[in-house]
Structure 1
Amino acid sequence: MDKKTELRNGIIKAIDNLSAKEKGDATEKEYLIAYGQSVQSEIEEQEREISFPIRESWIVMGILNHAGEINTKEEITCLHICSPEHVTGVRQLLESARAKVEVAKLSKKVVTTSAEIPSAHEMENWLQSMQIQVKPIMAKASETPPFLLFYLDTDSKASPFDICMAYDAGYNAVIPYENVTPEESKTITLDALLSRGPKGAKNTVFLIGGKNAEKAEEVFEAVKASMFPPFKGSIIVDPAGAYTTAAAMVAKTENALLASKLGQLNEKTCAILGTGAVGQIAAVLLAKMGCNVIIASLNPKRTDGKEHAEGIAKTLAKDHGVQVQGIFAPTAADKIEILNKAEVIMCAGIRGVTIIDKEMLNAVKNMKVIVDINAVPPLGAEGIELKDDMREMAPGIFAIGALAVGELKHKLEKEILREARSGGKELYNYNTALPLARKLLQKDLFPSKLTLNLAYATSKTK
């Protein structure tokens, strides 16, 4: 621990020295920050192990050793006074050793042998005669109801991605349902909430998924309508991860523009290449921010491409109250025209399909930021790399790769699952996802560096 703490402090000092230089090595600084984060994470993990698992193991070993020293075949009752923060861990370890455990609260009162409170001169004798009387209070067990997540998927097979994410977020059980319809979701919701009572209902979360965003929204509305006080739980709607992906893409782009001093995202013209759920929700979020938004349908096999693109724009206006421009862009010339109009381009097309090639990029005249969410080769933009985070892939063209967006999307979905489990907001959709993604991007490097200095005021003497 001492060596790692010394190493961490040395890294922080090196970062401070680089920051003080007028022409510091940016690459070296980024490396030191990443290395420092890794070391800090190791320190925090070791501190947690020392404070909890290791300490609690020693406590339990001491209890069992004392019990083993008692030469009797009778059942032994042990009263152990424990810090509240270790009660759960000690109890679990003792139960794993097949011991019966009951948690008791303690009442205490001060008992003195003196009839009256002594004077100041008799205080020492009074303290010596004082005793503290401790008595266990056995209360009724009040177990916390387990955290359950009901995963309602409109597809024929429930996504293992979301199931794994829910378990990683700390749910005790995840119960998946497939091919869920709005009518079926009402029955599932009521059965789940009414069977658990008001207290258990608070620890019940519903996650609605499926590739069809329209169907997922219908199930979302049905689940919401089925709830009534006090039988209400949190509801998350994230069809095939589209809402968290769109929110992560917009938040990452916004943050990257500011960090690179390239202006505000809400002042830009943004083009969304792809009309799937991710593209549509990204268009909605950008339009609500004040961006001038173009959403393009790209499939050259569509015979009704123009009508389809315009229909998407009308649907977004009707369902979300935003104005976007729907364009059919099946050819390279059509895409180049869009690229020259927009300042920010977001590739949200089908996996494994290149939307923008190098010839198109060569035709671009002004500075651009290109974001790609496709992690399956070939990528959405030729020349982009998965880990790109505002790399200048061509003169004046900056790239954000799928892993840079995906890392934030992963953190965002897990944070929403955790917040819903701990009784946060009742409803989670793309509107709640965006501010949460922004919040995740604003976390500091080393919270332990924050210090508060206190000093006693000195009295001035004449």
Structure 2
Amino acid sequence: MKKLLFQFDTDTHPSTFDTVVAYDGGADHVIGLGNITPDNVAALIDGTIFTRAPKDKKNTAIFIGGSNMLAGQQLLNTVLNHFFPGFQVSVMLDSNGSNTTAAAVVAKLVSKGNIAKKKAVVLAGTGPVGQRAAAMLALEGAEVSITSRLLANAERVCYAMKERFNVDLTPVQASDYDSRAIAIENANIVLCTGATGVELLRQEHWLNNPHIELMADANATPPLGIGGSSVMDKGQCYNDKVIWGAIGFGTLKLALHRACIAKLFTDNKQVLDAEIIFELAKQMNKNN
């Protein structure tokens, strides 16, 4: 029986990246659908849960994507609330790669030791990856701040992560090089999750900072978020600071994404959101 993955995307066009990884993860056929909202998804869910016998439902799964994390979370909640005993399929949330990318980079950071009580700053952290990475760092016991050009945006995200994960994050306004340098002055961990091609820190802002121990950059498009680093960094040491670039931890991200897709087809009751994906990332990183 064919393994069918229905890709419910909150954007107009389903992500080609997610489609490729879905096939690489073991789906036999990916059905990409765009502009999916809580208001128009019911009939689509019905099509996934009423068509196959109980023993065969594991061969149908749902992947929720799109660039808007809040919209993705709302869509996931709607899907789960539509299920009822005996009529459900496995589902995964990964809006804009948020869960898999965040889980992979934080798994690399925590692999270097206990980060409880460490001060972590997620620069430009209001996007999907920054939000989830900040929450994961906080779940590991770090004291986490999120920066944004507008304080209101950082406050909104901190509130949303409190609601979702019951973690306390600190919002910080940092709109230029100088303010971002001030934001990381006492940080032990710095993670850059800004827009592609935007440098957030110059090398002089971090290289001689005596407090920074770990850094990572989710931007793979030059100029990088961390000036003076390399997209290929895989735990490279710069003046006693261990750094991962986007390609450096990207191998784990892709392996994790594929593993999650494969896991969807193991039974019809998987719900893969941040916590489970993060635990899987840490285990995979430990085993490699």
Contact 1:193 1:200 in 2 (8 A): no
Unpaired runs of at least 5, structure 2: none
For 2:151 and 2:286, the matched residues in 1 are separated by 40
**TM-score if structure 1 supplies the norm length?**
0.60
Where does residue 236 of structure 1 map in the other structure?
Answer: 92
Q: Offset of 1:364 from its aligned partner?
A: 2.0
Q: Please say if 1:413 is aligned against 2:254.
A: no
Whether 2:115 is the aligned partner of 1:265: answer yes
What residue in structure 2 maps to residue 158 of structure 1? 14
Measured in 2, the distance between the counterparts of 1:247 and 1:180 equals: 25
| Conserved 8 A contact 1:346-1:370 | yes
Match runs of 1:422-441 below 5 Å? 422-423=266-267, 426-441=270-285
Q: 8 Å contact 2:89–2:268 — kept in the other structure?
A: no
Question: 1:340 and 2:185 equivalent?
Answer: yes
> Partners in 2 of 1:172 and 1:420 — Cα distance?
13
Q: Taking structure 2 as the reference length, what is the TM-score of the superposition?
A: 0.94
Q: Percent identity?
A: 30
Rounded Cα–Cα distance in structure 2 between residues aligned with 1:203 and 1:285? 30
Per-residue Cα deviation, 1:402-448 (whole angstroms, up to 9, x for no partner): 1121111100000010011122752001111111011111226xxxx
- Code of the residue aligned with 1:236 in structure 2: it is M
Deviation at 1:362, TM superposition (A): 4.8
1:304-327 per-position Cα deviation (integer Å, ceiling 9, x unaligned)? x22332232222223321101000
Say whether residues 1:311 and 2:173 are aligned partners.
no
Match runs of 1:198-347 below 5 Å = 198-255=54-111, 257-258=112-113, 264-274=114-124, 275-297=126-148, 299=149, 305-347=150-192
Q: Which amino acid in structure 2 is aligned with residue 276 of structure 1?
A: G
Partner of 1:177: 33
Contact in 2 for aligned 1:375/1:386 (Cα 8 Å):
yes
Alignment gaps of 5+ in structure 1: 1-144, 259-263, 300-304, 445-462
Instruction: Please state how far the C-alpha of 1:373 moved relative to its aligned partner.
Output: 1.0
Structure 2 CA distance, aligned partners of 1:252 and 1:363? 22
Change (3 A) 1:410 1:425: farther
SS at match of 1:202: helix
Distance in 2 separating the partners of 1:295 and 1:243: 17
8 Å CA contact retained: 2:189, 2:212: no
Larger Rg: 1 or 2?
1
4+ residue runs of structure 1 moved beyond 4 angstroms? Answer: none
For 1:167 and 1:435, the matched residues in 2 are separated by 23
In the alignment of these two chains, the number of paired residues is: 287
Residue equivalent to 2:234: 389
Mapped to 2, the partners of 1:326 and 1:336 lie a distance apart of: 15
1:286: how far off?
1.1
Q: Distance in 2 between matches of 1:147 and 1:247?
A: 26
Paired residue type of 1:438: K
Query: SS where residue 390 of structure 1 aligns?
Result: strand
CA contact (8 A) 1:202 1:232 kept: no
Whole-angstrom distance in 2 between the partners of 1:281 and 1:245:
9
1:180, 1:424 → 2: CA distance?
22
SS at match of 1:374: coil
- Taking the aligned partners of 2:42 and 2:282, their CA distance within structure 1 comes to 33
Change in Cα spacing, 1:220 to 1:359, as seen in structure 2 (3 Å) is same
RCO greater where, 1 or 2, for CA within 8 Å and sep 6 or more? 2
Question: Residues 254 and 369 from structure 1, CA distance in 2 versus in 1: closer, same or farther, beyond 3 angstroms?
Answer: same
CA contact (8 A) 1:209 1:216 kept: yes
- The one-letter code sitting in structure 1 at the alignment partner of 2:191 is M
How many Å separate the matches in 1 of 2:198 and 2:212?
24
Deviations, residues 211-266 of structure 1 (Å, cap 9, x unaligned): 011111111111111212222210101001111101111101111x23xxxxx122
1:200 Cα shift?
A: 2.8
**Alignment check: 8 A CA contact 2:7 2:62 kept:** yes
CA contact (8 A) 2:57 2:267 kept: no
